[in-house]
Copies of this chain bind each other. A is one copy, B any other.
Amino acid sequence: MSEQAGSLKPCRVVRTGPVSIGGGDLVVMAGPCAVEDEMTLWEAAHAVRAAGAVVLRGGAYKPRTSPKAFQGLGEPGLAMLKRVAVGTGLATVTEVLDTRDVERVAEHADILQIGSRNMQNTALLKEVGRIKKPVLLKRGMSATVEEWLLAAEYILEAGNPDVILCERGIRTFETATRNTLDLSAVSLLKELSGLPVVVDPSHGTGRRSLVAPMSRAAVAAGADGLIIEVHPYPKAAACDGPQSLTPEEFSRLMLQVRKIKEAMLLLK
């Protein structure tokens, strides 16, 4: 890979409704790991919107390590996510797992997520390359930056230019954190591609106490956005409770990242 820092590619701005990712604003996506029940989702959506998030996250199809873990609500979950997002004025991002579900998910959601486990599911990449909605492509657990960009190429080559890259931690020997968040990749990706980059410190660290410092660091590294797990009742969450923020913690985090973003704007 080339060493010259000056060779910045022209930046792609990805738009969905009023939201622009990669255009200079810090875009925050937040919500529960999984769509579980509608009351909880309304509560989460109102809270994250009040704090400044513009995209609601929530999984209807969940790619769990064990077949016995909660697999998501499926289509009813998609409909629920859409209702709540429309009712709160948020855009949505949700994961798709199967080539046969791509069209259906694209009807309900604004941004389709390809999860880490499917980053090299080439059939799925080609399929989301054929739709007209933005795709959030999470980094595979052991994907190099080069392989990740080649996975993005599958989507771009199939005709969809609206790819958002999402750093969510890589697998290393370290066990104190769930994954090792690779923030160097953020600036490197901005050098090597023109695609927007968002960071997921919730999966990237797996520890509630590290979500705020890693969010600040991501913004300081130049990330275009953040995707954060927020749940009104983390202890009752169907998944990822230990890394979910309460609405209050999320509000405090938003204040912090805004201060860092303001400092970043002064650098230019």
Contacts and interface: CB of A to CB of B under 8 A. Distances in A.
Interface of A: 1, 3-5, 63-68, 71, 97-101, 117-118, 120-124, 126, 141-142, 144-147, 150-151, 153-154, 157-158, 170-177, 180-188, 191, 204-205, 207-210, 213-214, 216-222, 242, 255-256, 259-260, 262-264, 266-267
A188 B212 CA distance: 12
Shortest 5 CB-CB distances between A and B: which pairs?
Answer: A5-B209, A142-B142, A117-B120, A98-B123, A220-B220
A176 B191 CA distance: 12
Given A63-B122, A150-B67, A191 B209 contact: yes
Contact of A117 (B65, B121, B170, B172): B121
A77 to B, nearest CB: 16
A100 B219 CA distance: 41
Given A67-B122, A67-B154, A121-B124, 18 more contacts: A3-B207, A3-B209, A3-B242, A65-B120, A65-B150, A66-B153, A99-B123, A101-B123, A141-B142, A172-B173, A173-B173, A174-B185, A177-B184, A181-B184, A183-B183, A187-B213, A217-B221, A255-B267
Nearest to A258: B263
A141 to B, nearest CB: 5
Nearest to A115: B120
A66 B187 contact: no
Contacts of A191: 209
B3 A208 contact: yes
B144 A173 contact: yes
B208 A216 contact: no
A189 to B, nearest CB: 10
A100 B126 CA distance: 13
Contacts of A126: 67
Nearest to A63: B122
Contact of A170 (B68, B174, B242): B174
Contacts of A210: 184, 187-188
A15 to B, nearest CB: 24
Given A183-B217, A260-B263, A172 B170 contact: yes
